[in-house]
Structure 1
Amino acid sequence: MHMQRRGLYAILLIGILAGSVIPAGAVQTAPAPGEHTTSIGCNTTGDLPAWADGMFNGTISRAGEVTGDVTGYVKLGRTSQRGFFSGTWNTETGQGRARGFFYGMLLVGQITISGGSLSVPLLGILQSDASRFSVRLLSPPGRQLQVSGVRHASFLPKPDGPYDIGTTTMHLVDRDREERFTDDPADSREIMLQFWYPAANSNDDRAAYMDPETFDWLKHESPIPLFWIPDGGYTSAMPHAVRNAPPVPGETFPVLLFSHGYDGVREIYTSLVEELVSHGYIVAAVQHPYVAGVTVFPDGRVVEHQPAPADPGEAEAYFEMAFDSVTGDIDFVLDCLPGMDIPLQASFDLDRVGIYGHSFGGGASAAACNRDDRVLAGAALDGYFYSDVVENGSKKPFLSLLADGHFERDASLQQMWNRTQSDIYMATAAGAAHYSYTDVGLLLTHVAPLIPRHAVGFGSIEPRRLIEIANAYTLAFFDAYLKEQPLDALLNLAGQYPEVTFDYK
């Protein structure tokens, strides 16, 4: 009895340290004995359970000889080195389930043998990196078993489209445009541009989520500083894109520009980009220096956000300049796309161009729709709108995804809606806040699970659900207007998401 209690306490302790809760329904049905055919290659195309952050598979070996296989799912804790697992094992002599926790190099749990009530403790020494794992089992004793394989887990939701994803960055200088945020008239406007694109299957390592300078901004200087995030916590976000992966050969794809929010950075919208790319879009995300929270150039220069002056009159002039700079960046990228000397350029379908953005970038997206005939449709994630768009409405099909209550308190948005003559759509998710339309709520779920999200500006809606909603509406909208797919897919989404209030005209 005392031994059982100690075992239970050990498992509970590991669970607390891992920052994970055993998810309901996190049990798999074991395969028939002897059907172990798993090879070393993670099946990332299957559907994940709602509770899981990723999956794993591998082989069981004894004295160097493969005797079976394992497969299952992972729920991460505060980092990718701690969390919960649930899976099945299968050998020629039996099969069953395995579940438990991992914390650094320690793995603790239990093995259940199918067809009986026997459960035995599981204890192992774990070695892992971003994509591979190896466990030397200490218990059950005397078996000398080794389990090794691959895993694919992330704080960010797994895209469910048919395409793998690549990403690459570019540094662009607009020699024809003076940098208005500096005092030197010789300074030209510079931007960073990140592409995400459908990629040929690649086994290379996935791209990093962000660089240390950007994480330092997120932790200490962002509009909602997240100082409680552990150092290096961003490394567990693990985007699903492979850096500089070769593009899908022989195909072209519609191009979507993306513009981040005021005092934001492109990286915190990764989950709102990768899903669209997995369904056959190229996304070009513009980083707007001085308007962005921080911009890191390839030569190591770090450009910090330049905030608005406190004086109301000066602040108004500042925001006009900032908006002109952002929309000018978008114009510049549109001008550059046809002549870019990169392999990816052959994949651009520049007859099908759209744009979307968050907050300030959502307003810039609407402005691009009105000022540039190359842009066919646009969308805003809780956008704020200015100038011509407010006065005349959108001249192109436009989708607004809103925070709860935004429409009711924003007279400019109401005027834009009323004056738009083209197709316009509005979706409001109950419990969504302005910053819900970023990855940050997803990170908080892991790194600060005890802090109420609504108390720090991220709304009451579950972050993965909000990202799923935003991606579903954005994808269906651009599919309709850039790929000429049936509009019914967009109009019927309300049946799948009852928490969304949807309107159009």
Structure 2
Amino acid sequence: MHSLSYIIFILTVMLKITAGYAGEAQDIKSIRQRVQAAENNADLGLLKNLFTDDAVYLNPEGPPIVGSRAIRSLYAFMFNRYKWTSSYQNNSTEMKGDSAWIRGMYSYKLIPKNQGKIREGQDPFEWLFLKKKAGWKLARLIYGELVEPQSRVPALPKPTGEHQVGIRDFFFADSARPETFTADAGDVREVAVQIWYPAENVKGRKPRPYQNPDMTKAAAHFLGWPLFANSYSVFVQSHSFSNAAAKTSPQPYPVILYNHGYGGFTTVHQTVCEELASHGYVVVSVGHAYESALFLKPDGSVKAFDPQNKAYRARRAESGGREQERLKDRIIRAANFADRENSYRRLLEKSPLHQQSVQIWAADNHFVLKKLEQINAADSILKGMVDFENAGIIGHSLGGATAGEMASTEPKIKAGINLDGFQFGGLPDVELKVPFMFMWENGRNVAGTAGANDLFFQKSQAACYSLVIKGFEHATFTDLPLFASIWQSAEPTPKSLRAIQLQREYILAFFNKHLKNRPAPLLKGSSQKYPEVVFKSK
């Protein structure tokens, strides 16, 4: 009798387990049915609460979509543009603890709501579910070839220098300056910086992702992109190691300030920052409150800025004004020095908000230099790393104008570079007295022979370089071209890789020559390696 009772007990337990699994399998089937119903009825509401926060969606075309909100934004994008019909044939279900998989075939038909080609086909699919407190959630949806999401994102070009690269994040408040972009009289100016530096002892460590999830969301919001557009960036690996040990050196490293373009953020040109750090520079990228898309704080959290703030919108409108655009064209196409100078002065008169922003950004940089002195004196990692006797600055667009302003007003700055920025600020009234380089795209000038800043090149009292690069566009002076073809291929195009290489080599040659007193053959004249560069120097 005792043995019979035991057998009955075991059978009862097994029946309960079987019933439990059957119930859970039904829950999983219900989720699959909800996804299919959502696709066939363009019902975004059916997808609510189906995904884990870090869920990944991967189809045969394009990069991984990462995060529940990003996946739902992809569905919203598709529902707005296509009549979608689909069906799922479930061939197998596998359950193991708090994980489950279903595999089968997926059939679809996408009919454009406007003109366009009908797309239809079949793909194998595999979904991964994870059991959470609230029930089963979809964690991974893969269609087509079963691959890791990391294989479908670009690999950033490796730095070419001898050093590994570390990165540290800082966030400061300048109590001496009230914040002018907000109505609160108690607000003070805030500044965020990322610092890249020569590092060591990184073996076995994983480099930082190019962006964290909060950065991708903040950037998409500020730039007006759908959330799914850049969510894949969390899988892109940088070549920088968070808070890595600094590479010891008998001499401190020259420091270079970097300023992004208007509406950008501190890591938009990370490939150049890493390159410089790998060659023995400390690179400090400066963020600007309310005119940057976001701030990355030391704890990894993000302060996102609203692109609809009144001051930012006014500056955007001023930049694209009809009169301002006409004057910019006149500056580039001017037949003589006097006409170019008159047009430039007129542009500055018509751009008071840009003039104001350059002064604000320059003040941010002056403040950062002071904070950097404190970091150099006491930071647990960067203490003694910075050579303030050999400081440079580089910037893109309005950040390039800030570089020119700093080079003419900050005694610590010994050399600077403006990447494709009209030179707002006070430079028309002074002459550059430190080495400077202007790099310019030729989108506004088909001949590709004159940069917008030839006026300052001609007036400079120090070594000066003017490079107009055929085939470049304004955004080429960032990392963005590496991702331009992401929906066709995970591999960056040869053109985008060449653009990054060209910038790295010219920028490094310039700072090596003028901050380290090293030979720079690339700066002696036109280059056979880079015939697309129209080069002038004095």
Deviation at 1:302? 2.8
Q: Secondary structure at the match of 1:376?
A: strand
Which one has a larger percent helix, Structure 1 or Structure 2?
Answer: 2
| Compared CA separation, residues 461 and 365, structure 1 to 2 (3 A) | farther
Q: Secondary structure at the match of 2:423?
A: coil
Where does structure 1 lack aligned partners over 5 or more consecutive residues? 1-15, 21-102, 106-124, 131-150, 454-459
Q: What are the Cα deviations for residues 90-114 of structure 1, in whole angstroms up to 9, with x where unaligned?
A: xxxxxxxxxxxxx999xxxxxxxxx
Q: Aligned partners of 2:383, 2:413: CA distance in 1, in Å?
A: 18
Alignment equivalent of 2:476, drawn from 436, 444, 447: 436
Structure with bigger gyration radius: 2
Q: Aligned partners of 1:159, 1:288: CA distance in 2, in Å?
A: 26
Q: Aligned partners of 2:249, 2:450: CA distance in 1, in Å?
A: 46
Indicate whether 1:281 and 2:259 are aligned: no
Deviation at 1:171? 0.6
Match in the other structure for 2:99:
none
Match in the other structure for 2:207:
206
Deviation at 1:289? 1.0
Match in the other structure for 1:304:
306
| Compared CA separation, residues 402 and 300, structure 1 to 2 (3 A) | closer
Q: Aligned partners of 1:185, 1:19: CA distance in 2, in Å?
A: 47
| Compared CA separation, residues 192 and 235, structure 1 to 2 (3 A) | same
Q: What are the Cα deviations for residues 367-404 of structure 1, in whole angstroms up to 9, with x where unaligned?
A: 10100110000011112202321333422110111111
Match in the other structure for 2:435:
397
Q: What are the Cα deviations for residues 141-178 of structure 1, in whole angstroms up to 9, with x where unaligned?
A: xxxxxxxxxx9x95311111111011010011111111
Identical columns (%): 27
Match in the other structure for 2:270:
270
Which amino acid in structure 1 is aligned with residue 457 of structure 2? W
CA RMSD of aligned residues (A): 3.4
**Does the CA contact (< 8 Å) of 1:393 and 1:418 recur in 2?**
no
Q: Aligned partners of 2:467, 2:200: CA distance in 1, in Å?
A: 34
Q: Secondary structure at the match of 2:484?
A: helix
Q: Secondary structure at the match of 1:400?
A: strand
Deviation at 1:338? 1.7
Match in the other structure for 2:156:
156
Match in the other structure for 1:196:
196
Deviation at 1:304? 2.9
Q: Aligned partners of 1:207, 1:167: CA distance in 2, in Å?
A: 9
Q: What are the Cα deviations for residues 325-378 of structure 1, in whole angstroms up to 9, with x where unaligned?
A: 111000101122222231213111111110001000001001101001100000
| Compared CA separation, residues 501 and 226, structure 1 to 2 (3 A) | farther
Deviation at 1:201? 3.0
Q: What are the Cα deviations for residues 254-312 of structure 1, in whole angstroms up to 9, with x where unaligned?
A: 11000011111112111121111111111000011111123354565433344242577
**Does the CA contact (< 8 Å) of 1:166 and 1:198 recur in 2?**
yes
Deviation at 1:211? 3.1
Deviation at 1:19? 6.1
Mapping 1:110-189, distance limit 5 Å: 154-189=154-189
| Compared CA separation, residues 159 and 104, structure 1 to 2 (3 A) | farther
Q: Aligned partners of 1:266, 1:294: CA distance in 2, in Å?
A: 8
Deviation at 1:449? 4.9
Alignment equivalent of 2:60, drawn from 17, 32, 35: 17
Q: Structure 2 length normalisation: TM-score?
A: 0.61
Q: Aligned partners of 2:415, 2:451: CA distance in 1, in Å?
A: 23
Match in the other structure for 2:137:
none
| Compared CA separation, residues 304 and 392, structure 1 to 2 (3 A) | same
Match in the other structure for 2:463:
423
Q: Aligned partners of 1:200, 1:461: CA distance in 2, in Å?
A: 31
Match in the other structure for 2:130:
none
Match in the other structure for 1:379:
417
Match in the other structure for 1:326:
361
Q: Secondary structure at the match of 2:273?
A: helix
Deviation at 1:217? 4.2
Indicate whether 1:347 and 2:385 are aligned: yes
Query: Paired residues, what number?
Result: 360
Match in the other structure for 1:77:
none
Q: Aligned partners of 2:374, 2:472: CA distance in 1, in Å?
A: 40
Match in the other structure for 1:504:
537
Where does structure 2 lack aligned partners over 5 or more consecutive residues? 1-58, 64-123, 127-144, 322-347
Q: Structure 1 length normalisation: TM-score?
A: 0.64
| Compared CA separation, residues 348 and 231, structure 1 to 2 (3 A) | closer
Q: Aligned partners of 2:306, 2:191: CA distance in 1, in Å?
A: 13
Indicate whether 1:243 and 2:242 are aligned: yes
Q: Secondary structure at the match of 2:354?
A: helix
**Does the CA contact (< 8 Å) of 1:337 and 1:345 recur in 2?**
no
Q: Aligned partners of 1:230, 1:387: CA distance in 2, in Å?
A: 35
Which amino acid in structure 2 is aligned with residue 254 of structure 1? P
Deviation at 1:182? 1.2
Deviation at 1:423? 1.0
Q: What are the Cα deviations for residues 210-263 of structure 1, in whole angstroms up to 9, with x where unaligned?
A: 2334323443532xx554964621123311001111110234211100001111
Q: Aligned partners of 2:177, 2:253: CA distance in 1, in Å?
A: 30
Q: What are the Cα deviations for residues 158-206 of structure 1, in whole angstroms up to 9, with x where unaligned?
A: 1111110110100111111111111222211111010011100302221
Match in the other structure for 1:446:
486
